[in-house]
Amino acid sequence: MFFLLPIMVFSQPLNYKDNQGGTFSIGFRTTMSGFNSHPEESSGLGTGAQFRIQFADRVNSDWFFDYINSSIGDYASRTDYHIGWSVLYYLRPKTDPFLKPYLLAGHCFDYTKLTDNFNQSNYSERWSSAVQGGVGLHFNLTQRLDLSLVSQYMIHLGNNVHAEIHDGVVDFHDEKGSSMEGHLLFNVSVNYKIADLW
């Protein structure tokens, strides 16, 4: 009987006050960075969390944090922290269909750190901001619980940092000036609607 408790909790209906505007939800996500700007950088993999505040039946928002790791050859590693938001626009007006496709656009602040694998005190770091746009799809498992898939492209607005190795020594390069460095991100998240706030 105990194993039925989560199913009973997640399947409880949410009493909307008027429309879906005001719906508040929380979730956890896994993020993969499909590619980075340097040819020796591997795809990144990370985790994160998010919450959503829905403004209207067809307009929602994601507020997220991501922590992503990737390797640069066998001599350095890269860590990215993203803190940002996205606006979601649903393409279908119907309330709570099983499949709910949407477009998204947003902004984030990020911190990037490149570290020498052989000498942890040798590193380079960068603060920047980024804009992103993409497409997503909710699988509404219940009225409260959804599984969401997102594909988006993120463009960093800031200096470009990368690592190279010369004669066994890892060098970091911080190229000044605006850079349109970007990467393709894939997110999978599970989200649960907590309440209808207004």
Q: Which pTM value belongs to this model?
A: 0.81
The model's pLDDT over 15-49, given as tens digits with 9 standing for 90+, comes to: 666 677 789 999 999 999 886 667 778 889 999 99
C-alpha distances in Å from residue 160, one per residue of 22, 57, 139, 140, 179? 39, 39, 37, 39, 6
What are the structural domain ranges in the chain? 23-94+101-136+154-196
Cβ neighbours around 48 below 10 Å, total: 19
Architecture of domain 23-94+101-136+154-196: Beta Barrel (2.40)
| 192 within 8 A of 144, measured Cβ to Cβ | yes
The model's pLDDT over 69-124, given as tens digits with 9 standing for 90+, comes to: 999 888 999 999 999 999 999 998 766 688 999 999 999 999 999 999 999 999 99
